[in-house]
Amino acid sequence: MEPLLLALDQGTTSTRAILFGPALAPRATASQELPQHFPAPGWVEHEPEDIWQGALATLRAALAQGGAAARDLAGIGITNQRETVVLWERASGRPVHRAIVWQDRRTTAACAALRESGQEALITRRTGLLADPYFSATKLAWLLDHVSGARAQAERGELAFGTVDSFLLWRLTGGRVHATDATNAARTLLFDITRGAWDDDLLRLFGIPRAILPEVRDCAAEFGTTTPEILGAPVPIRGIAGDQQAATMGQACFAPGMLKSTYGTGCFALLNTGATPVFSRHRLLTTIAWQLGGARTYALEGAIFVAGATVQWLRDGLGLIGTAAETGMLAQQADPAQAVYLVPGFVGLGAPWWDAEARGAIFGLTRNTGRAELARAALESVAFQTRDLLDAMAADIAGEVGVAASGTGDTMVLRVDGGMVASDWTMQFLADVLGAPVDRPTVMETTALGAAWLAGLQAGIFPPPGGAGDVPRAFGATHWRLERRFLPQMAREEAARRHAGWLDAVRRTRSGG
Ligand X SMILES: Nc1ncnc2c1ncn2[C@@H]1O[C@H](COP(=O)(O)OP(=O)(O)O)[C@@H](O)[C@H]1O
Instruction: Name the residue type at position 33.
Output: E
Instruction: Name the residue type at position 346.
Output: F
Q: Are 107 and 138 in contact (CB under 8 A)?
A: yes
Minimum CB distance to ligand X, residue 244 (Å): 11
Annotated ligand binding at 134? The verdict is yes
Q: Does 428 bind ligand X (CB under 6 A)?
A: no
In terms of CB distance, is 171 or 187 closer to ligand G3P? 187
Q: Does 173 bind ligand X (CB under 6 A)?
A: no
Q: Does 320 bind ligand X (CB under 6 A)?
A: no
Contacts of ligand G3P in 64-123 (CB under 6 A): 81-83, 102
Q: Are 394 and 420 in contact (CB under 8 A)?
A: no
In terms of CB distance, is 80 or 423 closer to ligand X? 423
> Can you tell me which of 153, 166, 183, 244 binds ligand G3P, judged by CB under 6 A?
244
Annotated ligand binding at 14? The verdict is yes
In terms of CB distance, is 82 or 440 closer to ligand G3P? 82
- Which of the stretches 147-155, 168-176, 213-221, 416-424 binds ligand X when contact is defined by CB under 6 A? 416-424
Minimum CB distance to ligand X, residue 424 (Å): 9
Annotated ligand binding at 16? The verdict is yes
Number of residues in contact with ligand X under rule CB under 6 A: 19
Annotated ligand binding at 308? The verdict is yes
- Phi, psi torsion values for 260, nearest 5 degrees: -130, 155
Q: Hey, is 44 helix, strand or coil?
A: coil
Q: Are 198 and 214 in contact (CB under 8 A)?
A: no
- Which of the stretches 187-195, 417-425, 474-482, 494-502 binds ligand X when contact is defined by CB under 6 A? 417-425
Annotated ligand binding at 243? The verdict is yes
Minimum CB distance to ligand G3P, residue 199 (Å): 20
| Closest of 235, 217, 188 to residue 4, by C-alpha | 235
Q: Does 48 bind ligand G3P (CB under 6 A)?
A: no
Q: Does 417 bind ligand G3P (CB under 6 A)?
A: no
Q: Is the dihedral of CA 73, 75, 81, 85 positive or negative?
A: positive
How far apart, in Å, do the first and last CA atoms of the chain sit?
62
* Residue 325 contact among ligand X, ligand G3P, none, beta carbon within 5 to 8 Å by kind: ligand X
Annotate 122-172 with DSSP letters as a single string.
HHHHHHS--S-TTSHHHHHHHHHHHSTTHHHHHHTT-EEEE-HHHHHHHHH
In terms of CB distance, is 15 or 273 closer to ligand X? 15
In terms of CB distance, is 187 or 498 closer to ligand G3P? 187
- Phi, psi torsion values for 10, nearest 5 degrees: -95, 100
Q: Please tell me the total number of residues recorded for the chain in this structure.
A: 513
x/- mask, ligand G3P, residues 245-264, rule CB under 6 A, reads -------------------x
Which residues, 6+ apart, have CB-to-CB distance to 377 below 8 Å?
340, 341, 342, 362
| CB-side neighbour CA atoms (13 Å) of 23 | 7
Q: Does 325 bind ligand X (CB under 6 A)?
A: yes
Q: What is the 3-state secondary structure (H, E, C) of 92-118?
A: CCCECCCEECCCCCCCHHHHHHHHHCC
The Cα 285–Cα 288 span in angstroms is: 10
> Can you tell me which of 51, 56, 309, 438 binds ligand X, judged by CB under 6 A?
309
Q: Does 456 bind ligand G3P (CB under 6 A)?
A: no
Instruction: Give the residue ranges of the annotated binding site.
Output: 12-14, 16, 82-83, 134, 243-244, 265, 308, 312, 419
Residues that bind ligand G3P (CB under 6 A): 11-12, 81-83, 102, 242-244, 264-266
Residues that bind ligand X (CB under 6 A): 11-14, 264-265, 308-309, 311-312, 324-325, 327-328, 418-420, 422-423
